[in-house]
Amino acid sequence: MITPFDENYELDEEGLRENIRSQIEGGIDRIVPVGTTGECATLSHEEHKRVVEIAIDTAGGEVPVIAGTGSNSTREALRLTRHAAEAGADAAMLVTPYYNKPTQRGLYEHYKKIAQEVDIPQIIYNVPSRTGRNIDPETLVSLSEFENIVGVKEAIGDLQQIMYLVENTGEDFNVLSGDDHLTLPMLSLGAVGVISVASNIVPGEISKLVHSYLEGDTKTAMEQHYEFLPLFRSLFLETNPGPVKAAMGILDRPAGKPRLPLVEVTEETKNQLREVLSNLAITPE
């Protein structure tokens, strides 16, 4: 989920509720607030917690809520994960600690500490392009032995790593795509879903792609993949979530501009987004 802001860059609470209701009506399986796309890095802790609370309240048990609770500080990640659990989130997603570049042993101890301290199911989020650190597959396999570490959102783009994880973890450990354009290839290797940026725009279509594949209809899944591949690409013309917020603005959905240091996308990018949306017949509701 994006985090919508008003014209003063403050949290648009009613806009967030509207987007969540739209996602649920669109057929998604779960809500994921305050991840990368939700601009967690520029939210205050109070705002972060408020977004999680709004998501839980608005979802109302219709779909599970997976709250982003990661940090480069283990103590901070613990506080956010405890809050998510106490607020009623169904699971937490924790990005790899960024900037301070922990060793693999440090990464293991970080996730071990949180898993032991908070009972809520936890998904590791591996995105080396943003954090500066890959969680080695061997480290992930070791972490999968904790009962409440239930999966990984992989945004590494290395299919060898995906195959290693699927091959060396049990059925209770879920490998999820973190890149819309790699969802279909990853499903073919044993992944079971995607935590998607594009679902902010087309929740039903992303759900259809994944469910079609998992139900054995690979033809429909492939058709969905190639039909929406131009959208997947266009949402990364500039740094996420700039393009997805711009696309939602074009569609008259609550979004606003990203907070500094991120900036609104260029007019050239907006024009490309308009063209892609038009070609896919995605119009304001």
Residues flagged as binding site for pyruvate: 37, 195
- The catalytically annotated residue of 108, 111, 125, 213 is 125
Q: Which amino acid is at 244?
A: V
Q: Binding site, residues?
A: 37, 195
11: helix, strand or coil: strand
- Contact residues for 29 (Cβ-Cβ < 8 A; gap 6+): 63, 64, 193, 207
64 upstream amide cis, omega within 30 of 0: no
Does residue 123 contact residue 152 with C-beta atoms inside 8 Å? yes
Query: Which segments of 84-205 are extended strands (E)?
Result: 91-95, 122-126, 149-154, 174-177, 193-194
Contact 198, 229 (CB under 8 A): no
Strand partners, 122: 92, 149
Q: Name the 3-class secondary structure at 50.
A: helix
The three-state secondary structure class of 176 is strand
Residue 13, classed as helix, strand or coil, is helix
**Burial category of 128 from C-beta neighbours within 10 Å (exposed 0-12, middle 13-18, buried 19 and up):** middle
Instruction: Tell me which of 153, 208, 213, 245 is the catalytic residue.
Output: 153
Q: Is 164 a catalytic residue?
A: no
**Active site (catalytic) residues:** 125, 153
